[in-house]
Structure 1
Amino acid sequence: MIDSNVKINRESEILIIEINRPKSLNALNSQTLLDINKAISEAEENADVKVIIITGSGDKAFVAGADIKEFADYKAPQGEEMAKRGHTLVFDKIENLKKPVIAAINGFALGGGLELALACHIRYASETSKLGLPEVTLGLIPGYGGTQRLPKLVGKGLANEIILSAKMISAQKAKEIGLVNEIFPLSELMNKTKELASIIAKNSPLAISKAIQSVNASDTKNGFETEIKSFAQLFELEDKKEGVAAFLEKRKPNFS
C-alpha cells in the first residue's frame, strides 16, 4: 500500500512504515509528516499491530533531514509553527505511543531524520549509516527534539559536540556512545529489526504500554511514582493474570 510519501507494509503483527521519497533522500516535508502521522495513528488504533518499524526507501538514506526548500523563506512565526506541528504530528506522538516503534536506520540519518530516529523507542542501524545534526551549518538548531532527546541518550558533552560541530558520526561510533542499539550489514538490517519486533510482539501489550510510559518518565521528578502506579495498575488486568498463570502452568501466555 502506498499513501503519498509513505509506503506501508503489514507483516503479521508488525507494521513497517517506509518513508518513500528516494529522489530527495527521503527528506521530511509537511506532507510526509502528515503521512507518517496517519500511518502511526492507524497503527495505534489497530489492535492487531503490536510493533511498528520505521525505515527509509532505498539503500542511501533513512531520512537525510527536513526538506530545506520548503522552509527556506520562513520567518520566526512560520518556524515556530513548523517545529510545533512536527512535534505534535510525529515526534512527540512516536515517543509517547503505547506501542513500541523501532527505527531501522538504513543510511543517512541527518537533521530531522536523526530526530525521527531519536523519537523512536529503539534504534537499529546499518554498518554504513551516517548520523548527525547539521542544523548549525544553516544558521539553525535542531527543531524536532534533537537538543532534548540526544543528551538523554549520550550525555550533554557528546550531544554538544555532535550538535555544535555538525559533523557526521559513523554507525560504529553511534553504537559506542549509545545512540543506536545495534548495527548490522545493510543486507541484514531489516531481518534483524523484524526479529526484535517479533520477540517484542509476543509480550503483553498492556505491560509494554506501561513500560514505555514509565521509561519516558524516568528523567522527571515523578518517574518512580509513575513506575509504582503503573506496576500496581497491571495487577488488575487480564494480561498479568494470564502471564502468571502461564508461568505457573509452564506454558506460553496468550495475552489479550
Structure 2
Amino acid sequence: MTATTPTEEHRMNSTDVHTDTGRIAVSYTHEGRVATVLIDRPRKLNALTLELLDALYTELRAVEHSDAQLVLLKTAGEKAFCVGADITQFADFTPVQMWKRWIAEGHRVFNFLAQLRQPTIAVVDGIAVGGGLELALACDLRVGGPGARLGLPETSLGTIPGWGGTERLTNVIGAARAKELIFTRRQLDAETALAWGLLTAVAERDGIDAATDELVDRILEGSPAAVQVSKQLVDAAAVGAPSAILEALASGFTASTHDFAIGVTAFRNKTAPIFTNS
C-alpha cells in the first residue's frame, strides 16, 4: 500500500508523562503522507487521565502544523482501544473540579481532534467504552477489528457521557439509538456497530491494518485540498451553516488550485490524476 508503506519513517514528536499509575506515552510519527498518533498505556487499557489528555493535545498540535494529509489514531495493546476515563483519578474530584477541569479538558482535546483539517481515522481494536468511544467519535471515520466492543456505560457510575458523546453519537447514529446505548449501557459488537454506522469498516481477524490501509489509500487518491475542504463543509453543515454560500466559496477556492487543473486534465485524458497538493 503506497499510502502507508514509506521508504523511511520520520519520528516527529513524543510526549512521555509519568503519573502515580505508571508511565504514559503519547507519540506522533509521520510516514509519507500519513501521520499516526499513538496512545501507549496498555497496562491500564489506555485509560485517560488529565496528564494523558494534555500529552495528546501536544501531539495533535504537532499534527496540525505538519504537512500530513491524513491522521490515524491508534492505541497500544490487544485488549482495548481505550476504556475511557481513569476512574481512579476523577472519582476524587470535587464537583467544581469536575466542572472546571475534567469535563473542560476532555472537550478541549476532543474538539481539537475533531476540528483538524486532515481526515482522521480511529483504529478501534478491542474495547472502546465511555471516553474511549467518545475519543473515537471525535475522529471522522472508525475502522474496527472483529473484537471491537463499543458503548457508553456512564450511567452505571451515576454520571453521564461528558466528553461530547451525547452530541457526536447522536450525529452518527441518530437520537433513538444514542439514547438506547446510553440508557441501557449496551455494548455493540463490531458487526452491529457497522450496521448502525458507528464503524466505517470492520476488518477480518488480523486484517485491521490491511483494512485501514485500503481506506487510507482511497482517501489519498483525492485532491488533498478538496478532501480537507469537503470535511470542513460537512462539519459546518452539521451545525446548520448554509451550504449554498459555503459551497460556492469552497468551489471557487478549489477551482483556483493546481490540483483542479490536474484533475480536469486527467479526466479528459482518461488517466488517473497525480495530485501535487498545490
Name the TM-score, length of structure 1 as normaliser: 0.93
The residue number in structure 1 matching 2:3 is none
2:160 counterpart SS class = coil
Q: Supply the distance in 1 between the matched residues of 2:35 and 2:96 (Cα, whole angstroms).
A: 35
Query: Structure 2: which 5+ runs fail to align?
Result: 1-10, 17-24
Measured against aligned partners, the alpha-carbon deviations of 1:233-254 in whole angstroms (never above 9, x if no partner) come to: 2222332223223333435233
Query: In structure 2, what is the equivalent of residue 252 of structure 1?
Result: 273
Counterpart in 2 of 1:10? 30
Separation (CA, whole Å) in 2 of partners of 1:122 and 1:78: 32
Q: 2: distance between equivalents of 1:80 and 1:223?
A: 33
Please state if 1:35 is matched with 2:55: yes
* 2:185 matches 1:166: yes
SS at the partner of 2:28? strand
| In 1: Cα distance, 2:205 partner to 2:81 partner | 12
Contact 2:110 2:138 in 1 (8 A): yes
The aligned residue for residue 76 of structure 2 is 57
Over 3 Å counting, the alpha-carbon distance change for 1:151 and 1:251 in structure 2 is closer
Stretch deviating more after TM superposition (79-88 or 62-71): 79-88
C-alpha distance in 2 between matches for 1:52 and 1:148 = 22
The one of 135, 138, 160 aligned to 2:154 = 135
Could you say if the C-alpha distance between residues 108 and 67 of structure 1 is closer, same or farther in structure 2, counting changes exceeding 3 Å? same
Match among 189, 199, 204 for residue 180 of structure 1 = 199
- Map 1:112-123 → 2, pairs under 5 A: 112-123=131-142
Partner amino acid, structure 1, of 2:276: F
Which has the higher mean CA deviation after the structures are superposed, 99-108 or 180-189? 180-189
Bigger relative CO (Cα 8 Å, ≥ 6 apart):
1
Aligned partners of 1:92, 1:209: CA distance in 2, in Å?
17
Matches of 1:216 and 1:150, distance apart in 2: 14
Checking the alignment, whether the CA contact within 8 Å between 1:154 and 1:177 is kept in structure 2 is yes
Q: What is the TM-score of this pair, normalised by structure 2?
A: 0.86
Q: Provide closer, same or farther for how the CA distance between residues 223 and 125 of structure 1 changes in structure 2, counting only shifts above 3 A.
A: farther
- Comparing 245-254 with 15-24, greater Cα deviation is found at 245-254
Q: How far apart are the structure 2 equivalents of 1:243 and 1:80?
A: 49
Q: How big is the shift at 1:3?
A: 2.7
Q: 1:137·1:166 contact (CA, 8 Å) conserved in 2? A: yes
Does the 8 Å contact 1:123/1:180 carry over to 2?
A: yes
- Name whichever of 1-10 and 90-99 sits farther off: 1-10
Distance 2:188 2:162 in 1: 20
Q: CA deviation at 1:220?
A: 2.7
Aligned to 2:263: 243
Q: Judge which range, 91-100 or 201-210, deviates more.
A: 201-210
What is the CA RMSD across the aligned residues, in angstroms?
Answer: 1.7
Bigger drift between 150-159 and 193-202 goes to 193-202
User: Structure 1's 198 and 23: CA in aligned 2 closer, same or farther, altered over 3 A?
Assistant: same
1:108 counterpart letter in structure 2: I
The reply to whether residue 218 of structure 1 matches residue 237 of structure 2 is yes
- Count of aligned positions: 254
Question: Does 137-146 or 34-43 show the bigger shift?
Answer: 34-43
- Structure 1: runs of 5 or more not aligned: none
CA apart distance, 1:184 = 1.1
Q: Aligned with 1:217: secondary structure?
A: helix
Looking at structure 1, the residues matched to 248 and 61 of structure 2 have their Cα atoms a distance apart, in angstroms, of: 28
* Shift in CA distance, 8/233, structure 1 to aligned 2, threshold 3 Å: closer
